[in-house]
């Protein structure tokens, strides 16, 4: 397919998109009837009115120098075949192998961590007693990196400070443990 026909096909698809979005067509006939100068003159005519007090600031001897127009030495011809397509093509773009491998590695790592966590929770849930579950968690915390490995000092601080019951909770716990609910 020639470059010219590719550009024409893209223009047609853009034209169809504009029409479906309810926008005015670029190639329609009402563009021929549209006179840009009339609209510009109408807009400018509303903007040149000045306030009466501005007259004292206008210099009657002001001379406006004529504008110099730039004329290029060479003018290049417009050739449609050499026109650059503004839309980038992503069919030739490839993500580097290192980035793809790193993404795949991260996804696999997340998947394996989720699987390990799920299996650990299932093993804990399937323990016959709570004591077995606690001993299993302690064993796993010292022999693996799940849950995060802690030193004995950190565990002692945790047990001493965080798992301590208040006086009221201790009283309630003691009362519950001393009460024999089966004989009542």
Q: What is the pLDDT of residues 18-31, one digit of tens each?
A: 777 766 666 655 55
Using alpha carbons, select from 35, 37, 38, 14 the residue that is nearest to residue 26: 14
Using alpha carbons, select from 150, 169, 168, 166 the residue that is nearest to residue 158: 150
| Cα angle 85-91-93, degrees, rounded to a multiple of 5 | 95
| pLDDT reading at 99 higher than 70 | yes
- Judge whether 178 and 148 are in contact, CB under 8 Å: no
Mean pLDDT of 26-46: 60
Instruction: Decide: pTM greater than 0.75.
Output: no
| pLDDT reading at 46 higher than 80 | no
Q: What is the pLDDT of residues 70-94, one digit of tens each?
A: 887 877 777 766 666 666 677 777 7
Mean pLDDT of 130-148: 75
């Amino acid at each position: 397919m020639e470059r010219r026909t590719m550009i024409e096909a893209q223009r047609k698809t853009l034209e169809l998109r504009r029409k479906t979005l309810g926008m005015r067509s670029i190639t329609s006939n009402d563009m021929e009837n549209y006179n840009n100068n009339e609209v510009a003159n109408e807009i400018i005519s509303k903007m040149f009115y000045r306030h009466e007090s501005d007259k004292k600031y206008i210099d009657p001897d002001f001379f406006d120098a004529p504008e110099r127009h730039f004329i290029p030495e060479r003018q290049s011809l417009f050739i449609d075949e050499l026109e650059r397509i503004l839309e980038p093509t992503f069919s030739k773009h490839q993500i580097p192998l290192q980035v793809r491998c790193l993404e795949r590695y991260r996804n696999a790592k997340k998947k394996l961590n989720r699987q390990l966590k799920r299996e650990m929770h299932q093993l804990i849930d399937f323990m016959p007693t709570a004591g077995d579950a606690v001993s299993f968690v302690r064993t796993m915390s010292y022999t693996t990196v799940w849950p995060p490995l802690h030193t004995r000092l950190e565990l002692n601080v945790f047990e001493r400070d965080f798992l301590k019951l208040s006086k009221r909770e201790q009283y309630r716990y003691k009362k519950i443990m001393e009460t024999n609910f089966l004989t009542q």
